[in-house]
Structures are given as structure tokens and as C-alpha cells.
Amino acid sequence: MGIVSENVRILLKAIPRNVIVVAAVKGRTIEEVQEAIESGIKYIGENYLQDAEKKLPFIGNVVKWHFIGHLQKRKSKKIVKLFDMVETLDSFEVAREIDLEASKMNKIIPVLIEVNSGNEPQKSGLLPEDVEPFIEKVSHFKNIKIQGLMTMGPFFEDPEKLRPYFVETRKLFDYIKNKNIQNIEMKFLSMGMSSSYKIAIEEGANILRIGTLIFGPRA
């Protein structure tokens, strides 16, 4: 058993069954990704469209593909075609383009709204106070299905410091869920990475984006 297989086995054993592990595969080889899939990973997260285009012919649709990078309007057509979910929607213009392209393909694309929970100007994502009006606006698109929220939170050496940001994002998730906005199905809360996934689960995450813990540090 390789190191990736062993890491996957340990991780999947340690988390609740209702929690989805999205293997973040930025910079990883096709062989590493295939080993992770053979060991039980069912969801792959890619940051870059061009990297997904290289891996998909070898891996195919035996897994679900999540787009977890920054969305660019000009790449919407290919993203809609290749991915099963977009976790990083934060722009109305991009939402409109995704809806248009999805309608051409007769496809409904599930999306998560990215929340800039740390209010960091250098990061993408909507500020928490802008999330509800954005969702109200995007909910009218027929080929986009909002299914939850995603946040990264600020970077801290001590992952415990992320807890307040996860707590606030969960409160926002619950608030929007209780609004019962038409065409919105708040199912998924994507929070937590390799260093913070345990705290994220404690605060309600049911999607984790895990890279280093599966594949080891990038070279």
C-alpha cells in the first residue's frame, strides 16, 4: 500500500460518513490522483481548468469533479462542461455566464457561494453581509442550483484560530437555509482543509477540501 492509499484510509476512517472529502489535486500527478481514487476518494477538486483538462482523459467520470479555484467568466463554458459542482461562485456576471452556458447544454450546475469570512481584501469571495442579497439575485437563474456555502478563512499557523470564522459561516448558512428562498437548497457547507478539517467538522462542515493530508507536501 502506497503512502497516498494509507493516508486516504486513515482520513476516511477518522471522519463521519456524512462528510464528503474533496481531494484537492492542484500540482499532483495523475498517478497520485488515481491512487487516491482507488483507495476510496470519490470527489476531486481542481483549482485550474487547464489542469482538469489534462487529468480528465485519464481519470474520467468515475469521480465527481468540483471546481475549487477562482472563477473566470471566459472559462465558464468549459467549466460547466467538465465539472459537476462549482464551489467558488462570487460574481453575478460569472453566474449569468454559467447559467447561459448550462442552459445551452441542458444542464443544471450545482454551485456553492464563496464567503470571504475573514473580510480579506486580497481574497475572492463575498463578504458575509453581501451573501443573502447575492443569493436572492442568483436564485432566479434556472440552470444554476445554489446548494450551500464555501469558505476558506484567513491563514493561521494555529488552526484553532479559524474556529470563529467557521462558526460565523455556519450561522450564515443556517440563516439562509431558514429563509426558504425559492430554488435554493442549502445542503452543503464546505469548510476546512488539511490542518483545520477537525475544527470544520465540529462547526458543521460536510465538505472538506483536503490536499496535503492525502498527498503530502507539494514539491
pTM: 0.96
Q: What pLDDT is attached to residue 58?
A: 95
Q: What pLDDT is attached to residue 218?
A: 78
Q: Using one digit for the tens of pLDDT, what is the confidence trace for 80-112?
A: 999 999 999 999 999 999 999 999 999 999 999
Q: What pLDDT is attached to residue 177?
A: 97
* DSSP bridge partners of 200: none
Q: Are 139 and 183 in contact (CB under 8 A)?
A: yes
**Total number of domains in the chain:** 1
pLDDT > 90 in the chain, percent: 96
Task: Write down the mean pLDDT value for the chain.
Answer: 96
Q: Three cell numbers at 213?
A: 493530508
Which CATH number do you get for residue 162? 3.20.20.10
Q: Using one digit for the tens of pLDDT, what is the confidence trace for 14-50?
A: 999 999 999 999 999 999 999 999 999 999 999 999 9
Q: What pLDDT is attached to residue 75?
A: 95
CA R_g for the chain? 17
Nearest CA to 88 out of 66, 112, 109 is that of 112
Number of CB atoms found within 10 A of residue 8's CB: 25
Domain span at residue 178?
Answer: 3-215
